[in-house]
Amino acid sequence: MTAAGELRSGKGHKDENFPVASKLIHPRHRALIFAFYNFVRTADDIADHISLPPQEKLAQLDRLEAELLGNGETQAEAVALRRAFAERGMPPRHAQDLLTAFRMDVTKLRYDNWDDLIHYCSYSAMPVGRFMLDVHGEDRATWAANDVLCAALQINNHLQDCGKDFRDLNRVYVPLDALSAAGASVEELGQAKASPALRSCLKSLAERNEALLMQSASFSSQVKDARLGMEIAVIDTFARKIVNLLKTRDPLSENVHLSKLSMLMLAAMASGFEIGRRAAGVKSMPRLSTGA
């Protein structure tokens, strides 16, 4: 039997669009966060595996969940996370929600509309932020702002990778009604350059995502842990910068990802801004400009 870890893509936490247990997070939380990340990355890579048959993907995801819940010792990532949860007295709920999303990735290749996509994000993205909040003992009243930011992060990723997802996996997260309204087709996602119709569709979705991000503007100020607040401020800044790129560039033919240097500069500015806000005792301040 192939172990789930053998199906990893090789992508690690340093390759993500967002920081994973960065230096901003207190060291006492990092082991659990990395155990969570390794489990989730393994499951995600299984769902995204180009050559693995769908039924084998689902079987591998089932094995990961079974061992996460204590039924077996063969899947290293599941066992490590199970033990890390046990040490902290935390339930596996958020990891299980993410497994639901990965099963959807295997079985659901199209999304009818924006609400359909947000429903997917409720399993694929929101649980990640909820996990981080629970790790830090934050009030669950913060979940509403978290859910909006996490959904926006996920949709950014869908727009950035819309061509690759279609070409490699025949998977389309761009809502079908948005494509239809713009006069674009699914097949256009496989082109080397977006048509005017597809470009209009993707830009309108980026603008809608920008409006979604505005709803989570006060998120960092809602959390008590200063380190986590800085992490949230950094992630929010990355998300808004990516939205600006998606509004002005074609993700099929142009770079819509942040460079490592850009991420470092934005992280320094956002964390400094958050420190200043907290030091001044200000509940909220105008958000940093990320430029175009």
CA distance 4 to 39: 9
User: Got the DSSP string for 11-29?
Assistant: --GGGSSS-SS-TTS-HHH
pLDDT band with cut points at 50, 70 and 90 for residue 9: low
> Averaged over 236-263, what is the pLDDT?
96
In a domain, 32, yes or no: yes
In a domain, 6, yes or no: no
Q: Domain of 239?
A: 25-280
pLDDT at residue 20 is higher than 80: no
In a domain, 47, yes or no: yes
pLDDT at residue 79 is higher than 70: yes
Question: Is there a contact between 245 and 256 (Cβ–Cβ < 8 Å)?
Answer: yes
pLDDT band with cut points at 50, 70 and 90 for residue 229: very high
> Averaged over 137-158, what is the pLDDT?
97
In a domain, 231, yes or no: yes
* CATH code, 85: 1.10.600.10
pTM for the predicted model, two decimal places: 0.90
In a domain, 68, yes or no: yes
Domain count, the chain: 1
In a domain, 260, yes or no: yes
pLDDT tens per residue across span 38-67: 999 999 999 999 999 999 999 999 999 999
pLDDT at residue 223 is higher than 90: yes
In a domain, 291, yes or no: no
